[in-house]
Each structure stands twice: as C-alpha cells, then as structure tokens.
Structure 1
Amino acid sequence: MVERPHRRQVLKAVGAAGIAGVFAGCEAPTSNPTTTVDRVPDCETSVVEPTVSGGSFTLVHGRQQEGAHLLEETKEVFQERYESTVRIERSPYSPVEHLRTVIPEGDGPHLFTHRHTIAGRFVEDGFLSEQGENLRVEECVYSDPAWDVVDYQGPEMDDPVTVGLPFAGECPALLYNRDILDELGVEPPETFAEWLSIMEEFHDPQQGQYGLAQPLNAYFASWAAHAYGGEIYDGEADELGITSDAVSRGLDILLDDLRPYIPSTHTDASPYTEEAQVAVFENATAPFLINGPWVEADLEAAEFEYGVQPIPTPPGATARPYSSVQVLFFADRMTTDSTAAAARQFAEWYTTSDDRIRELVTTTSFVPVKNGFTERDQLSTTARGFARQFETSDPVPQNPKMNDVWAPFETAVREAFETGADVGPLLEAAATEIRQTDRWQ
C-alpha cells in the first residue's frame, strides 16, 4: 500500500491552513480551501473487480427504507455479476446491541455497516478482523478523513489495523439562501470578511432577520474549535485538547466574530438547538445556516433556492467540522471463515464502484469519500459543496473516552456564548470534570 502520513500528524506539524498545500504540493490557501485534500498522483481509482466467485457471506445493516432498498439492489447486482451469495440481514433493533450479541456467539456477519465511531469499542472487544494485508485496494483511493477511521490505531496500539473500508461520509458545511444573496446583490462569500459583511448587512433582529443560523452544541462548534489545528480530543494519542490555545482561539471565531449574528430570542424554547436554528433558515429569515446534508430533507418544501460550500474562516484557519464516516466493517468471522475472500472482495468492489457510489449519494444524504469521484461525476451542487467540506473535516474520535467529553465541552461553550465570559477558564473547569469520570481515571 502507499505509505502516507496520517492527517492528524500533518496538522500538528504544519497547522490547519497548511494541510492542503502539503498534500497538493502547492501554496496553502489562507481561507476556504477548494483544492482536494490528499490527492495522490498516479493512484488507481477504478473499480476493484472481484476475482473469486461462488462464495457465500452475510452482511448486517441498520438502514431504513431507501437505504435498505438500495442495499438489496446492490446485492442483486453483485450476485448476478460474480455468482456469489450475499445474505442481507437488517438488524431488528439497535445494530450495536445486536452485533454485541451475535458476534460472540459465533453467528455474526462477515460484514456490517455502521458509523466509524464504534471501531474503538469493537477493536477492544475483539469483534473486528484486521484485513489490511489481504486488501487489493490502496488507501489513496479514499479521502484522508475516510481512510483514517478504518486504519484504526488506539492509544495502546503499536500499529494500526485495517478493520473495514469506507463508503460514505457526512459533516456540517455552510448553506446559503441564494434568493437573499441575489436581493443583496452579492455572491456566496469566498472569504471570512465577505461572510461577515453579508451577515452585517442582513442582520436586523427587530425585523426578525438574522445573519447566521448556527446550532450551539459540541458537534456544530467543532468546525471553529479545530480551525487552528487544535483537537477537542485526540483519541489516537488519548490527549484532551480543550484547554489548548489553539482550541480557544478557534472558538473565538464563534464566540466573538459570529455571536452577534446568531439568533437567541426567536423562540420560547431553547433557541440554540439544531431544530430551532434550522427553522430560522427554513423560514428565510437568515441567509446562512451551518448544518449537514441530512437537513436537505427539511428544506425540500422551502420556497427558495439554496447552495452549499465550505465554511469561510479567517486567514490562517481552516474549518474542520466533526464528521462521520459510514464503514463496511470486517467482523471477527472474517479471520477464520473460508468464505472471507468473497466478503472482502465485495467490500472492495462496493466502495470503489462509481455506479454504487452514485446510487448512494443521489438517494441518501451521504457524500462520496472516494478520491476523484466529485470531479468525475455529475453530483448535485449541494452534494459537491458538502463533499468539499468533508475533505477538511475531522472524524469524531473513535476512542470510547470521547463519550465523556461531549457534555462538559458543550456546557462550557454554551455558557461562554450566553454570558460573554472568557471561554478559557470554562474549558479548564470542563477538563477537570472530564478527567474525574470513570473512563478517565
């Protein structure tokens, strides 16, 4: 496989703004990069066709409706072309709890789909199979955030283990109301200064108009917290970073520069929830919204045209929101079962097939994670915008200790936003609270 530095290692070495330049071999932009991160010259990105036939394997998923139908369609295509038998099983309840029950009993699947965040727990429990030495697909096929989560390395591990292949992702980006921007006579902002200028011009709370809709929780604040190369929590190194200068500096983008434009009195309920902030954009009372591709379902009935682009940042910073990656995981059964080759080659085919990826991203809210797909294929403009933001995203840490970070961090950010207090001491208190939890002892 092609050897490359892990993205987090590069970020720590050169800072967020330099990441695109390091991989692309060009001068790094100071804001809103549009080059594709981690493009590897001469990487073979064509579909990896199976070379074995006649195998039989089981794939478990927890998808609903369209997603489940699409997976059944994929099964039929694969069986017809490659004469292997694919047993598709939908988890009858929580996929994680279902897998925790069937895998230890020896009745588990060969493959299963889930968000990347379970890898840490499942590696610790011995539920996953390392298949890196057997794969025919190179890591350069996938964008860096997507590959980082399947090439898993915990804090106590000497070497990473390849426990699956990524097939889709999602993360917040900047949505904008094209109609409002047209009325103002401006284009979507390319720089942070342009973004602030548009917000300032539209913002008029007395008339029910606001510059920006931005949910205030830990997930949606991450793009700013990570903007200067800091980490809320580095799960690989097991390092809590919320008290670092880089994280505080990044949060200041949200707490100082953007705070005046985010609505806080537009509802009797909690004004900073995702639902409340989305409603502001949905009602065309804000030109901008920070949210993910899943919000497009809520905007289907909107009477305005909208677009999506990466979040602009000040010079020297890059928006790095938390993201999630959908992974086709190799279950422990792959280690000993004689039909593992058929399952593994299905995973290689499924995650590199442009036809399968196109079907997925046009029928669901996910974005592609295969390098070059965005440039080669006719994606919608909104999907293209989310895909560009995903390239600089930071996947949610897979270490189970992350579960103890969310609430204290979010409470500190919310209090700083609501009171105007210095976020530094609040983050110090949050760090103390986190380190007192059982996992952190």
Structure 2
Amino acid sequence: MDRRTVLKNLGVAGTIGALAGCVGVQEQDSSGGDGSDGGSDSGSDGTESSGPAGTAKAWYTLSDTELPTRKENIQAFNDESKHTIEGADISDMRKKTTSAIPAGQGPKTFEWAHDLAGDYLDRGFIVGKSDSLNVSLDEFTSTAAEAAQFDGNVVGLPHTAETVALVYNKEYVDEAPETVADMKSVMEEVHDPGNNTYGLGMPYADPYFLSAWAHAFGGYYFDTEKDDQLGVAKAETVEGIQFTVDNFVPYMPNDPAYEPQASAFAEGNAAFAINGPWYLNTLNEKGVDYGVVKLPKPEGGSPKPYTGITLWYFSKAMENDDAATAAAQSFVEWYVTNEEIQRTAAEETGSIPVLKSVAEGGDLSGDIQGFSNAVEQGYPMPADPKMNQVWDPVKAALTKAFNGKDVESAMQTAADEIRSNWE
C-alpha cells in the first residue's frame, strides 16, 4: 500500500493535486549537488571497503523540498569516498522495483518503508546482509532495529521513523492534554460546525491513523505472534473502534477522508489534529501556532499507533560480492549513522531520527520530540505479506463506522473478506 508516500507529500491544496505531486515526479539523476557539508563529519567509521572503487545506483522517492538535501548528501559521500553513488528519484517505487529488479536492471539499494520487507524478501527482490554489516543494530532505537529485520534477516538499515501524534492549536489549547478526557473537554468547548470550527481533524477512514485506538484496549488488526493472526473482529479491537466513534467522531468534520480532516486544523479551524510529521510543512506554511505531543491515554487503555520505519533496503543485486555492492553498503552504513543528516532531516522536514545518539540526545525540537515520544508508544507495522490484504477491508469498515453503521458488524464483514482473500 503506497498511502504513506501520498501522505508524505499531502498538503491541503486538494487530494488530486497531492496525488499528482506524489506520482508525477519524473525519474531523474540525483547524483549532483553543491558539495555542501551534508553531515559528512559524523558518519560511521570503518565502513569503507579495502577493495576496488565501485559505482552503485540508489533509488528513492522524495518531495521536491527534500530532493536538494538528498543530492547534497550523496555528493558529500562521493567527495569523501573512493566509491560513487548515482542517485535517482523514482516516481513509482513499487512498480519500478518489481519490474527492474527481476530483470537485473534495478538499483543496489533503494529507500522505502519497512513494511515491504516480507513481500519483497519472499519474491527475492531483497536480500539479508546480517553477516557482512559493519554497523550494529544496537546503534538504533529498538523500534527501528526490529523493523530492519524480517524472518531472521537484516534486509536494510533504518534512518527515520514516522507515526501519528496529537497536534494542538495553541490558540484554542492552553495545555496539551494527557488523557482523552482532558482532550474531550476542550473539544466540547471549541466544536461549533455552524461557525466552521471543530474539536478534531483526523483522517478517520485510514486504518493507519486509527491504529493507535484499535490497539488501545488489547486489540489488533494483524499479528503474526498471535494464535489467531487476524484480530480485526476481536472484541478488544471493536472496543477500540467504538471508542473513536463515541469520543472523536462527534467533534470531527463530516467527511472522513484525509483532505477535509487535515484542512480543518491547517486552516486554524480545529483545536486538535491527529496526523504525522509530513503534516508540519503544511502547518508552517499556513502559520498555525501548534504543538506536538504523544497521543493521550483513554481510560483503561493505552494508545499504540503503528510506526513506519524508512529503510535503505539491500536489493537483490547486493548478492553479488563486487565493487558496486561494496559502494552501496558503504553508502548505506555512512548515511544511517550520520548524525548531521538525521538532525538536518528532523529540522527541515520533520523526520523522526532513529539513530540513538540523535533520538535520545535530548536536543530535538519540541515538535520532533513529540513525534519521537509517539513512536515509543507504538510498534512497527506488520511486514508480513498477508497484511496487504488487511488494509482495504478495514478501511471500508472504518468508513461504515464513521457513517453510523454498527461497528461490530462492519469489522466482522472486514474479517470475513480478509480471510476469504487469504484463502
């Protein structure tokens, strides 16, 4: 599911424009740059191969605002290394990797969220490199280290995280709430749809945004560690969704889609939003005076949002023990352990660092620290290929629940559809 790429680039100018911006970027050479710092003084030591110099392709999908920094980072690596990385921004990473890698025309490494791991490992698009790494997973937060592994294989190295947190408008909110009850008291005061003000803007129809509450009382969508992996219709999951219907939906705009929910807060017309770090650029452009904190606790429960970890994957081409593989591995290890790269990404794009020395260093901005705390509340999205069949039926069920349909019935219908698809 490619929704997180859409979300990363999604402003409030409209869904169509956002999608066009996301998938309309043409593939381009990104190996150039102005040779600026890019954080070259903080990378991991000892990752340079003693063999011949190599040249490797690295693919990624970035917004226009992120591309210049990526070019600078690649140029910084090329300037200080004997190896050369040729970067390219790819408009449809799933489509391009699934066609190019089997044909032997793909990159040595590519950047994407961790939940591709199970599917891509099963299909032979990526490989494990556990035995040849010069970087320890202990250098990363526990969530990131977990996400970099699938079925006993280290399939890539992590560099940023994402999840949803509570964003509050300081015009309406004097003090960030610690509980849903505190949050609800503010929403009741602010919510006045007749005057275009709302208590909350939260993209309700997306299971990713609702995951914190579906999991809050012991429920789950899908969990390979459970005897019954599918938890969509479990009583605890239904309880979490019902909680959102009772406590959040009455204070939201009447369209559950991303754009109207995100717009309400971004236009200064809502007290709270539940959204991710990609949202901050929009809020900054709109001039909203906001704060970010981890999600508040419901009575008797604890929010557990899904987290996404961005990896530099080890493509199938890295099976070959050649100079290009050495170049790619050297670049990835340098990039993910470079403190300055992570700090700059946090400051400029709201990225959540996962390198322990940065994530736990105590010098992140308040907004990024809020998202970082929210990451600690949650756990990585399942990377098992079976999860691909879960998203759409749950989305349909959530839409029904938002529109007043019986939650238990809607979630049971979703569970039946998922099991049928699995079979």
One fold, TM greater than 0.5? yes
Aligned partner of 2:261: which letter?
A: Q
Q: CA deviation at 1:113?
A: 1.0
Q: 1:106 aligns with which of 104, 107, 117?
A: 104
C-alpha spacing 1:101/1:287, structure 2 compared with 1 (3 Å):
same
State whether residues 236 and 399 of structure 1, in contact with CA within 8 Å, keep that contact through their aligned partners in structure 2: no
User: So what's the TM-score if we normalise by structure 2?
Assistant: 0.82
- Report the counterpart of residue 19 of structure 1 in structure 2: none
Q: CA deviation at 1:242?
A: 0.8
Q: CA deviation at 1:126?
A: 0.9
- Report the counterpart of residue 308 of structure 1 in structure 2: 292
Q: CA deviation at 1:405?
A: 1.7
- Report the counterpart of residue 5 of structure 2 in structure 1: none
Aligned partner of 1:151: which letter?
A: Q
Give SS of 1:376's match.
coil
C-alpha spacing 1:76/1:282, structure 2 compared with 1 (3 Å):
closer
Give SS of 1:384's match.
helix
Q: 2:385 aligns with which of 400, 404, 420?
A: 400
State whether residues 162 and 277 of structure 2, in contact with CA within 8 Å, keep that contact through their aligned partners in structure 1: yes
- Report the counterpart of residue 362 of structure 1 in structure 2: 347
CA–CA separation in structure 1 for the residues paired with 2:240 and 2:45: 41
Q: What's the CA shift string for 1:66-120, capped at 9, x where partnerless?
A: 33322221122222223222222333x4222222233223233221111222222
CA–CA separation in structure 1 for the residues paired with 2:204 and 2:116: 25
State whether residues 112 and 330 of structure 1, in contact with CA within 8 Å, keep that contact through their aligned partners in structure 2: yes
Q: CA deviation at 1:143?
A: 2.2
1:118 partnered with 2:116:
yes
CA–CA separation in structure 2 for the residues paired with 1:146 and 1:130: 16
Give SS of 1:114's match.
strand
State whether residues 48 and 348 of structure 1, in contact with CA within 8 Å, keep that contact through their aligned partners in structure 2: no
Q: CA deviation at 1:415?
A: 2.1
Q: What's the CA shift string for 1:361-391, capped at 9, x where partnerless?
A: 2232421122241342643322221121122
1:229 partnered with 2:218:
yes
1:426 partnered with 2:410:
yes
CA–CA separation in structure 2 for the residues paired with 1:89 and 1:214: 34
Q: How does 1:2-401 map to 2 (within 5 A)?
A: 47-52=44-49, 54-91=53-90, 93-153=91-151, 160-181=152-173, 186-217=174-205, 218-234=207-223, 239-264=229-254, 271-339=255-323, 340-376=325-361, 378-401=363-386
Please give the root-mean-square deviation of Cα atoms over the aligned residues, in Å. Answer: 2.3
Q: What's the CA shift string for 1:242-293, capped at 9, x where partnerless?
A: 12222122223212222322232xxxxxx11111112211232221011111
C-alpha spacing 1:118/1:206, structure 2 compared with 1 (3 Å):
same
User: So what's the TM-score if we normalise by structure 1?
Assistant: 0.79
Q: What's the CA shift string for 1:171-214, capped at 9, x where partnerless?
A: 21111001212xxxx31112232212222222333443322122
Give SS of 1:74's match.
helix
Q: CA deviation at 1:333?
A: 1.6
CA–CA separation in structure 1 for the residues paired with 2:78 and 2:397: 52
C-alpha spacing 1:301/1:343, structure 2 compared with 1 (3 Å):
closer
Q: CA deviation at 1:48?
A: 4.3
CA–CA separation in structure 1 for the residues paired with 2:158 and 2:57: 18
CA–CA separation in structure 2 for the residues paired with 1:354 and 1:115: 20
CA–CA separation in structure 2 for the residues paired with 1:429 and 1:100: 31
C-alpha spacing 1:424/1:62, structure 2 compared with 1 (3 Å):
same
Q: CA deviation at 1:306?
A: 0.4
5+ residue gaps, structure 2: 1-41
Identity of matched residues, %: 32
Q: CA deviation at 1:234?
A: 2.1
CA–CA separation in structure 1 for the residues paired with 2:68 and 2:100: 24
